[in-house]
Amino acid sequence: MEDRPHQLLIDTDPGVDDALALMLAYAHPAARVVALTTTAGNVGLDCTTRNALKLLEVIGADTPVYPGAIEPIERKEEYAAYVHGMDGFGDTGYLPPARRPESEHAALAMIRLTRERPGELTFVMLGPLTNLALAVTLDPTLPKRVRRLVVMGGSVLGRGNLPRLPVEFNFGFDPEAALIVLSHWQRLELVDWQATLDHGLPFREMESWLERDDPRARFYAAISRKCRSWMRRTRSTEHWHVADALAMAATLAPEAVLERKLRHVQVELDGSASRGMSIVDWDGRGAGAPNADIVRRYDLDAFAGLIRLALGSPERRVA
């Protein structure tokens, strides 16, 4: 664990799994969230921004929220409302947040904040990479001012979660943005969909934590109900897969990463079945230098403990 606090800029498209990752960031004693930037992804930008503001209201935080991209750079893609609900938060019909977002665009906020805090901010990217791609295109020196870049995206073994079978949602929603970011960063940390599948938590445990008498647990139980039902029905699994929370865990507790692989990663832009696919040079046969520190294994007990922390639950895991 690093001695100084993690100062985070979190780019997000809430989204049920984004919500849990954000709750973890705000619950962790070694984290300070400097800004949230929002993008279209799981649902449209109006909803993702409203959801971010509502979550901040629930947990009692006043972090500035900067709305960003309303659509991908090149081609429009389908949202994931069938998983997260039409509003992204399970169609719970919550009261609108009282606070409004900032007027500055997310990409411009990224540039400004890194100029004000050079070398201090860790960027945690939980949604499509459109905002960061726009920012680095406007200011190619941006990567030099970012302390760490952690990305949830891609599927390094070709097992995705879109109809384009080898493609993960965040990279598939805006492949051009993913390629721009990978091309501009000498090294980033990647938590992909395969790692998510390999680090599921039993529903029985998760749902016992959601029964805790805590506003965070109650809120998350409500907004995740539809998603949990969809996952059980369509995937026939008894494990809850929360990609963005795993990425946040790797950000805040990197000492619990048990295995990493440093490899060159690029993104396929063409192909009806492969647009957005992660191309990983596992054997070092290509010309590209390694640019992604890929998280392959994470301590499951540590991950479970961080999820309990996010939900306000100190209890031990269910045996």
Inside any domain, residue 38 = yes
Domain assignment present for 119: yes
Residue 318 lies in a domain: no
Q: Is the pLDDT of residue 259 over 60?
A: yes
* pLDDT of amino acid 4: 72
Residue 94: predicted pLDDT: 86
User: Residue 42 has what DSSP assignment?
Assistant: S
Give the HSE-up count for residue 170: Cα atoms under 13 Å, Cβ half-sphere: 31
Rounded (10°) angle between helices 175-184 and 130-138: 50
Instruction: Give the pLDDT score at 185.
Output: 97
Per-residue pLDDT at 78: 84
Residue-wise pLDDT tens digits, 100-127: 999 999 999 999 999 999 999 999 999 9
DSSP character string of 118-150:
TTTEEEEE-S-SHHHHHHHHH-TTHHHH-SEEE
State the pLDDT confidence band at 314, using cuts at 50, 70 and 90: low
Could you give the CA distance from residue 266 to residue 163 in angstroms, rounded to a whole number?
20
Is residue 261 one of the residues assigned to a domain?
A: yes
Q: Report if residue 244 sits inside a domain.
A: yes
Find the CATH number of the domain harbouring 130.
3.90.245.10
The yes-or-no verdict on residue 90 having pLDDT over 90 is no
Count of structural domains, the chain:
1
Q: pTM higher than 0.75 for the full model?
A: yes
H or E element: which one contains 209?
Answer: helix 203-210
Q: Which residues contact 116 (CB under 8 A, 6 or more apart)?
A: none
pLDDT for residue 27: 95
Nearest CA to 145 among 7, 260, 241? 7
Q: Convert the pLDDT of each residue in 131-164 to its tens digit.
A: 999 999 999 999 999 999 999 999 999 999 999 9
What is the model's pLDDT at position 256?
Answer: 97
pLDDT tens-digit readout, 4-31: 789 999 999 998 999 999 999 999 999 9
Evaluate whether residue 114 is within a structural domain.
yes
- Write the DSSP assignment of 70-124 as a string of letters: SS-SSS-----HHHH-TTSSTT--PPPPSS---SS-HHHHHHHHHHHSTTTEEEE
Q: pLDDT tens, 226-252?
A: 888 887 777 767 888 999 999 999 999
- Which residue in the block uniquely carries the two structure tokens 């479970």? 304
Cα–Cα distance between 160 and 288 in angstroms, integer? 23
Q: For the chain, what is the mean pLDDT?
A: 92
43, 50, 5: which is closest to 25 by C-alpha?
5
Cα separation, 62 vs 64, in Å, equals 6
Please, what's the b/e burial string for 25-53 (b: 16 or more CB within 10 A of its CB; e: otherwise)?
bbbbeebebbbbbbbbbbbbbebbbbbbb
319 is a domain residue: no
Per-residue tokens: 6: 């993690």
Burial class (CB in 10 A: 0-12, 13-18, 19+), 193: buried
Q: With pLDDT > 70 as the criterion, what percentage of the chain qualifies? A: 96
Residue-range definition of the domain harbouring residue 78: 6-310
Q: Is residue 107 part of a domain?
A: yes
Task: Tell me, rounded to whole angstroms, the distance of Cα 168 from its chain centroid.
Answer: 12
Return d(Cα 77, Cα 250) in angstroms, integer: 28
